[in-house]
Amino acid sequence: MALVPFDDRDGFIWWDGKLIPWREAKLHVLSHGLHYGSAVFEGERSYGGNIFKLDAHSERLLNSARVLGYEIPFTREQINKASQEVIKANNLTDAYVRPIAWRGSEQLAVSAQHTKIHLAIACWEWPNLFGADRMKGVRLDIAEWRRPHPQTAPTAAKAAGLYMIGTLSKHKAEDLGFDDALMYTWDGFVGELTGANVFFVQDGKLHTPIPDCFLDGITRRTVMALAKSRGIEVIERHIKPEEMANFSEAFVSGTAAEITPIRQIGELNFEPSRLTETLKDDYEALVQMAPEEVEKRAA
């Protein structure tokens, strides 16, 4: 498949308060965000013109920046409005939306107190992360890298720097013929994927790791709300790797991955079945609803 580089496309990108032509959205090479990992970002999806859980994503973006020690110079309402504007400007209704904030070029050293904070928002068409075949279930390698202890990295933020171990783990998985990798936590429990959370099913109940050193996904919280409204018990707990053999179904949740069944983790096989199907259908119905309806059903 021919790759179309992201800098060789047309359209509009919202940048520091206004829409500019896609090809002009260029960053100087001496930007703090590039050298010192001071960028935070979001990944959102618009369905039928509505960005699913937009408010929660904009809020998480603002919080991620605060965790990295800076304030984005736009309010949540302004970010929401800009996100909607950028979709319209690009004539898209079903799209992936990527806001990103970063420290600018005023200083290029570890200390960056006087850098300007920038915010850009782009969007593009992006079908599911795992492609059209995903309902057969994805196959996961076990990553060598682990999610770091929260005192060694800002693990609650969706910070660009946290993705370097994700890319390393995903590349190794792909080289071995897997779709993605499951990462353990620093203390050896089941954590999450490189860009999504994980759920398991046992005796009709859902089990999912406590996000104490990795991202508490907005999709994860949505799945938990959907399960509860169906009377399905959700157990958040530390899950040991050896316990995975006891689970009958497993699936991933995330904005890019949506709800995708898991077929294999390392040597273990799973059979996508009823509970995964039900929650996937509920999620797919929810994302198509008007934002007010979404709030009523999965606040």
Ligand X SMILES: Cc1ncc(COP(=O)(O)O)c(C=O)c1O
The footprint of ligand X (CB under 6 A) covers 43, 192, 195-197, 215, 217-220, 253-255
Name the token pair of 27. 């960053």
Q: Which is nearer to ligand X, 86 or 162 (CB)?
A: 162
CA 18/CA 53 separation, integer angstroms: 23
Min dist. Cβ of residue 220 to ligand X (A): 6
Asked if 182 and 198 touch (Cβ cutoff 8 Å), the reply is yes
Cβ proximity to ligand X: between 37 and 195 the closer is 195
Q: Where are the alpha helices (DSSP H) in the chain?
A: 32-36, 54-67, 76-89, 164-175, 218-229, 274-287, 291-297
Q: How many whole angstroms separate alpha carbon 56 and alpha carbon 25? A: 26
**Minimal distance, residue 219 CB to ligand X, in Å:** 3
Q: Distance (Å, rounded) from C-alpha 231 to C-alpha 109? A: 52
Q: Shortest gap between Cβ of 17 and ligand X (angstroms)?
A: 25
User: How far is 183 from 296, CA to CA, in rounded Å?
Assistant: 33
Residue 74, both tokens: 């736009």
Nearer to ligand X, 89 or 225 (CB): 225
Query: How many Å apart are CA 38 and CA 69, to the nearest integer?
Result: 9
Q: How many CB atoms lie within 10 A of CB 269?
A: 12
Shortest CB 42 distance to ligand X, Å: 8
Quick one: CA dihedral 96, 153, 146, 249, positive or negative? negative
* Strand ranges in 78-129 using DSSP code E only, listed in sequence order: 95-103, 117-124
**Pairwise CA distance, residues 215 & 220, whole Å:** 9
Kindly give, in sequence order, each residue whose CB lies less than 8 Å from that of residue 210, ignoring residues fewer than 6 positions away: 236, 237, 238
Question: Residue 111 CB, nearest distance to ligand X (Å)?
Answer: 28
CB of 83 or CB of 197, closer to ligand X: 197
Whichever of 98 and 103 has its CB closer to ligand X, that residue is 98
Q: Which is nearer to ligand X, 117 or 193 (CB)?
A: 193
- Rounded to a whole number of angstroms, the minimum distance from the CB of residue 91 to ligand X is 24
158, 170, 228, 296: which is the annotated catalytic residue? 158
Q: Is 240 an annotated catalytic residue?
A: no
Q: What is the rounded CA–CA span in Å between residue 83 and residue 14?
A: 8
Residue 45 host element (H or E) = strand 44-47
Enumerate the active-site residues.
158
